[in-house]
Amino acid sequence: MEEFFTHADVVAIFAIYAISLNLLLGVAGQISIAHAAFGAVGAYSTGYLVVIQDWSFFPAFWVGIAAALVVGLLMSLPALYLDVRYLILLTLALSTALLAVVGAIPELGGSYGLRDVPNLEIFGTTYDDPSEFFRPLIVLALLVLAICSLIAYSPYGRVLRAIRDDELATRGVGKNVILYKVTVFGITSAMAGLAGIMLLYFNRSAQPGAFDLAVSMQIIAMVVIGGAGNLLGSILGATLLVLLEPFLQDVVNMSPTNAALTQLTIYGALIAAFLLVRPQGLLPESWTPAAAVRALRRSPPERPESEEVAPPKPSPRLAETAGPPPTSDGGNPEAVLEASDLKKYFGGIHAADGLSLRLPRGRVTGLIGPNGAGKTTVFNLLTGVIPLDEGKVWLHGQDITGWTLNRIANAGMARSYQDVRIYPRMSVLENVMIAVPDQPGERLPNALFRRIRTHEGEKEARQKALEHLEFVGLSARADKLAGELAFGEQKVVALARLLATEAEVLLLDEPASGIDIDWVETMLGLIAELRERGKSICVVEHNLHVVERIADSVYFMETGTITAEGTVRELMQQERLAEVYFGSA
């Protein structure tokens, strides 16, 4: 029985490691190979206090967790601005440096480590045997699972997944990605520290070797094998990899050295083989016990989809308004967005060279020009994706120059992208829900402690999202995975997502490109309707017929600056512009 609990204890400790790493890696998409090193921070901090300073467990425990939290937060800062490959290097360097420092500090015992760690004693009760140790351990493990589950399967978790799948788009719908990343790094590091502390007490000693890179890589293997993004899978992964070694020891029976080597060979080969056979891991991300039960109860499979996907029927109102734009009236509607003298240089290239424009309320403004004129760059500059070298931008009269992308989105200006950038692994509904602002469940305290409020907020967000989907005519597709939709549908979903931000200024980057004529009609109808609702819309388009139909006025842009303004017809009558746009006859 005790032998069973010996294994169970190690499984539980590594389950804590794996579940927390899965939150960071599988859900939030941040790679770290320093997870075990955070365990070292927790273990050594607590161990030092208990062994050298004679503290009792409880306060030392909290200091250990706090230490791991702080180091995690510190590491997250450079991690924010490094791409995935440098993130691996950063975590590798951190792990090595941490363990080297720990090994060099005399009080921590060098490679010999901290010894004489007493048995775990919490408020007078000692936990000597593995079976006794299991009791507080399983409580902590379940707590970690609960916290991570609450985070992962809440609106907060949805934002994390969105960050994982497309960070830029997530910033573009107004989420403060930095805050999310820093928070999740901190929380998961603290949990790793917790695992390290429990390992300290289980081993009754701490050595650098128990927290090195090989251990971090094993934890990654547990996450990947269990299923990245599925927290229950991490428990499975931990169980499998922890139990594999003793299993092989029992099964492989030969001379001691050969046995050990054979076990290692099989162990490594099984890991590789598993990735070959089931690289998505044991449990796919969306699998939950509830989902499995639902799947069992489901009626016969749905009819196969017809190949041709018809564009959504626009709602009756649209049919009336999808026509030529109203002629410009005499009044000059207020400019919701104003940009003045924007300048941006990439070395010798003047992407923006003294560019000014204004977007009035309730109007569609086109932005046309030859290839390479810098039109998408303008959008990037306006929304803060790229910093300006010079110039100013005002939104609703407020100076937003230098604001971040998410701040601008929250202030009321958002954009769509040429390459659509929807979240393929989320449902259509979730794609739109993510953009709904002010969701209580997206704040961590609410997600963890105010479940009712989160739930209410979620219902509200769902309702709003459905309305937007209804508007664009895609409510029937709400539960489909966005990645499975046709390109045209995806563009419409992206538009719905944009609308969900409730921004007044909408920058649409080639909304009509890459889709056939029926879809174009739908798109135009939607844009017209939005104009009716008072949105200020700017459309970058190559297709002049499209621009002609929808734009109230048009800016002509070449080599980083606006050189002409007017309707399409007016501009195309100017020979020089036509030549610039189409090339010489």
Partner 1 sequence: MPIASLTETLQFASDGFINGAFYGLIGLSFGLIVAVTGRFHFAWAVAFAISGYFAAYLINHNQFAILPAVLIGVAGGVLFSVLLELLVYRPVARRAGPNALLGVFVASFGITIAGQALIQLIVQSRIASEPLNWIPIDSQDVGGVTFTTLDIWAVGVFWACAVLTWALLRFTPLGREIEAVRVNPMMARVVGIRTGRTYVVVFVIGSLLGGIAAIFFAMDNAATADMGTEPVFYAFVVAFLAGLGSSPLWIMLVGTLLGVVEGLSAELFSPQWQTVVVFGILLALLVIKAAHAWRPTVFRIPAALAR
Partner 2 sequence: MTVDDVTTRLVNSALTRRRFLERTAVVGGSLAAGNILAACGDDDDDGDGDAPTGQQLGQQLRDILGEPRNLIAEGPGNFDITGSWPLTGPGSVYGELQSEGFRYGAEHVAAWTNGKLRFQAEAVDNAGGDPQKSVANARGAGLAREPIFVTSYIFGFGAQPALIAQYKMLSLDPGGGTGPLAQGLPYCYGFRASYPQDLVDGLLETITRENSDASTLAVVDAEINADYNGANEEFSRGAAQRAGLELVSFSTAPLGQTDYASVISAVKEDDPNVVVFLNFGTDVAYCAREVQRQALDATYGGIDFTPDGAQVAGPAFRDWIFSHDYINVTDPPSDWSKLFVDSWESDNGNPPENYNAAYYASAFAYAIMMDRILGFGGDIQNGADWLRALEQEPTFPHVYGGNGSQIGEIVLDPETHSPTSIPILGFRAEGTGSTEDITLLAEYDIGGRNYQPIES
What does the binding site for partner 1 look like in residue numbers (CB under 8 A)? 25, 31, 77-82, 84-86, 88-90, 92-94, 96-97, 100-101, 104, 217, 220-221, 224-225, 228, 258, 261-262, 264-276, 279-280, 387, 425
| Least distance in angstroms from the C-beta of 39 to partner 1 | 18
Q: Residue written as tokens 């997870």?
A: 35
Under rule CB under 8 A, residue 106 binds partner 2: yes
Nearest to 155 by CA among 181, 172, 175: 175
Choose among 337, 353, 441, 354: nearest CA to 393: 337
Minimum distance of partner 2 from residue 115's CB (angstroms): 5
Provide the sign of the torsion angle of the four alpha carbons 129, 131, 135, 140, taken in this order.
positive
Q: Which stretch binds partner 2 (CB under 8 A): 113-121, 150-158, 530-538, 573-581?
A: 113-121
Residue 99 phi/psi, 5-degree rounding, is -70, -35
Pick from 45, 207, 401, 454 the residue near partner 2 by CB under 8 A: 207
d(CA 307, CA 309): 6
Compute the least distance from the CB of residue 424 to partner 2, in Å.
Answer: 40
Supply the minimum distance, in Å, between the C-beta of residue 3 and partner 2: 5
Using CB under 8 A, pick the residue from 89, 126, 128, 518 that binds partner 2. Answer: 128
Tokens representing 364?
């569609």
256 binds, among partner 1, partner 2, none (CB under 5 to 8 A by kind): partner 2
Q: Which does 244 bind (CB under 5 to 8 A by kind): partner 1, partner 2, none?
A: none
CB of 44 to partner 2, least distance (A): 13
* Binding-site partner at residue 210 among partner 1, partner 2, none, CB < 5 to 8 Å by type: partner 2
Residue 11 beta carbon to partner 2: minimum distance, rounded to whole angstroms: 13
Q: Which does 400 bind (CB under 5 to 8 A by kind): partner 2, partner 1, none?
A: none
Establish if 196 lies at the interface with partner 2 (CB under 8 A): no
For 252-361, where are the alpha helices, taking DSSP H only?
Answer: 256-277, 289-297, 316-321
Nearest to 440 by CA among 156, 173, 250, 165: 156
216 binds, among partner 1, partner 2, none (CB under 5 to 8 A by kind): none
Query: Quick one: DSSP state of residue 442?
Result: G
Which of partner 1, partner 2, none does 117 bind, CB closer than 5 to 8 A by kind?
Answer: partner 2
- In eight-state DSSP terms, residue 51 is I
Determine the Cα–Cα distance for residues 28 and 181; give it in Å rounded to an integer: 8
- Residue 96 as a binder of partner 2 (CB under 8 A): the answer is no
Q: Is residue 14 a contact point for partner 2 (CB under 8 A)?
A: no
The answer to whether residue 110 forms part of the interface with partner 2 (CB under 8 A) is yes
Own/partner long-range contacts of 562-568 (Cβ < 8 Å, ≥24 apart): 562/355, 562/356, 562/357, 568/366, 568/368, 568/544
User: By CB under 8 A, is residue 125 in contact with partner 2?
Assistant: no
Could you tell which of partner 2, partner 1, none binds residue 267, using a CB distance below 5 to 8 A set by kind?
A: partner 1
Do 492 and 186 contact (CB within 8 A), yes or no? Answer: no
The residue from 74, 260, 385, 486 that contacts partner 2 (CB under 8 A) is 260
Please report how close the Cβ of residue 353 comes to partner 1 at its closest, in angstroms: 19
Q: Is residue 427 helix, strand or coil? A: strand
Coil, helix or strand for 570?
A: helix
- Contact between 573 and partner 2 by CB under 8 A: the answer reads no
Instruction: Choose which of 17, 156, 202, 379 interacts with partner 2 (CB under 8 A).
Output: 202
- Comparing C-alpha atoms, which of 98, 93, 131, 117 is closest to residue 6? 131
Would you tell me how many other CB atoms lie within 10 Å of the CB of residue 419?
11
Considering CB under 8 A, how many residues would be counted as binding partner 2?
38
User: By CB under 8 A, is residue 262 in contact with partner 2?
Assistant: yes
**126 near partner 2, rule: CB under 8 A:** no
Q: Is 250 in the site for partner 2 (CB under 8 A)?
A: no
Residue 228 binding: pick among partner 1, partner 2, none (C-beta 5-8 Å cut-off by kind): partner 1
Maximum CA pair distance of the chain? 96
Q: How far apart are CA 34 and CA 537, in angstroms?
A: 46
Residue 395 interacts with, from partner 1, partner 2, none (CB under 5-8 Å by kind): none
- Select from partner 1, partner 2, none the partner in contact with residue 514, using the beta carbon and a kind-dependent cut-off of 5 to 8 Å: none
130 sits near partner 2 (criterion: CB under 8 A): yes
The least CB distance from residue 70 to partner 2, in Å, is: 25
Q: Choose among partner 2, partner 1, none what residue 259 binds, the Cβ cut-off being 5 to 8 Å by kind.
A: partner 2
Judged by CB under 8 A, does residue 259 bind partner 2? Answer: yes
In angstroms, the CA 320 to CA 317 distance is: 6
Dihedral pair phi/psi, residue 140, rounded to 5°: -65, -40
Contact partner at residue 116 from partner 1, partner 2, none, CB < 5 to 8 Å by partner kind: partner 2
- Distance separating alpha carbons of residues 283 and 496, to the nearest angstrom: 31
**Cα–Cα dist 110/99, whole Å:** 10
Site for partner 2 contains 121 (CB under 8 A) = no
CB 459 within 8 A of CB 466: no
Separation of alpha carbons 440 and 153, rounded Å: 14
Residue with structure tokens 């259509």?
A: 428
Instruction: With residue 349 as reference, give the H or E element that holds it.
Output: strand 349-360
Question: What are the helix (H) ranges across 451-486?
Answer: 451-472
Contact 249, 263 (CB under 8 A): yes
Which of partner 2, partner 1, none binds 89 (CB below 5-8 Å, type-dependent)?
partner 1
Q: Could you give the CA distance from residue 335 to residue 310 in angstroms, rounded to a whole number?
A: 37
Shortest Å, Cβ 262 to partner 2: 7
Q: Which is nearer to partner 1, 92 or 385 (CB)?
A: 92
Binding site for partner 2 (CB under 8 A): 2-3, 6, 10, 103, 106-107, 109-113, 115-117, 119, 128, 130, 202-207, 209-210, 249, 253-262, 264
